[in-house]
Amino acid sequence: MSTIQPPHTQTRTALITGASQGLGLALARRLATDGWRLLLDARTAGTLASAHSQLVALAPDPSLIVTIAGDVTNPAHREALAAAAREVGGLDALVNNAGALGPSPLPSLLTYPLDALEAVYLANVFAPLALIQTLAPTLKQGARILNITSDAGVEAYPGWGGYGSSKAALEQLSNVLAVEQPEWRVYWVDPGDMRTAMHQAAFPGEDISDRPLPEESVPGLMELLTADLPSGRYRAHDLA
């Protein structure tokens, strides 16, 4: 007799980049509580270790939480994430949450340092696509890919030309990927304004306490991860 569990009882696995704080950590907390196996990355080992301590306390089994510190712009780190994904039998979801804001205060396009713009595109466009390419063999049929974007990718805000144009590029990459790979669900999702370190860096010295906490965007992300919505662009707060 087969010992394979029915799909609804199998442990689902998600890889979340930039998971040591902000939206990535808020989503990881929810998924850990719901019993998902998590592969988590962040650039700073110390903050990722702190996140790991929080998450193992929430998970039904501490071994479900795996953290791998590193930068997704680094090919060796992406290979390490792929190796971890293979070891656990593949991924049900990939959340490309890691990203870069660029210089702070936000410069106008006429004064934008091109080396800084290159770094923003490397983090926000090339790294997510490169990670998808590297992880493709581990993504299961029907896997969800969530590329975290922004309203700055579709609206023109002064000072947001670097970050916003990188998110616009990520959105179109997602759009084309959804057509090319119909076996996956590809979502590019705007989480809305959030009270995060990145948002504070965009508004140095300003009080951003009126912005919602990242946790308020999580229900919308969960809808994309667990429902059967078609590939496309979504706003997290609309789904919640």
> Which of these is catalytic: 112, 121, 163, 234?
163
Q: Is 157 a catalytic residue?
A: no
Contact status, residue 17 vs residue 97, Cβ threshold 8 Å: yes
Q: Per the structure block, which two tokens stand in for 2?
A: 């087969």
Q: Is 167 a catalytic residue?
A: yes
* Residue at 4: amino acid letter: I
What is the rounded distance in angstroms from the CA atom of residue 201 to the CA atom of residue 221?
Answer: 24
Number of alpha helices (DSSP H) and beta strands (DSSP E) in the chain: 9, 7
Q: Based on C-alpha coordinates, what's the Rg of the chain?
A: 17
Residue 103 per-residue DSSP state: S
**Strand blocks (E) in the chain:** 13-16, 37-42, 65-69, 91-96, 139-148, 185-190, 232-235
Catalytic residue selected from 112, 121, 140, 167: 167
Torsion angles phi and psi, residue 102, rounded to 5: 105, -165
Q: Is the peptide bond before 105 cis (omega within 30 degrees of 0)?
A: yes
60 preceded by cis ω (within 30°)?
no
Pair 192, 217: CB distance under 8 Å: yes
Scanning the structure block, which residue is given the tokens 């997290």? 236
Tokens linked to 71: 């930068």
**Catalytic residue annotation:** 163, 167
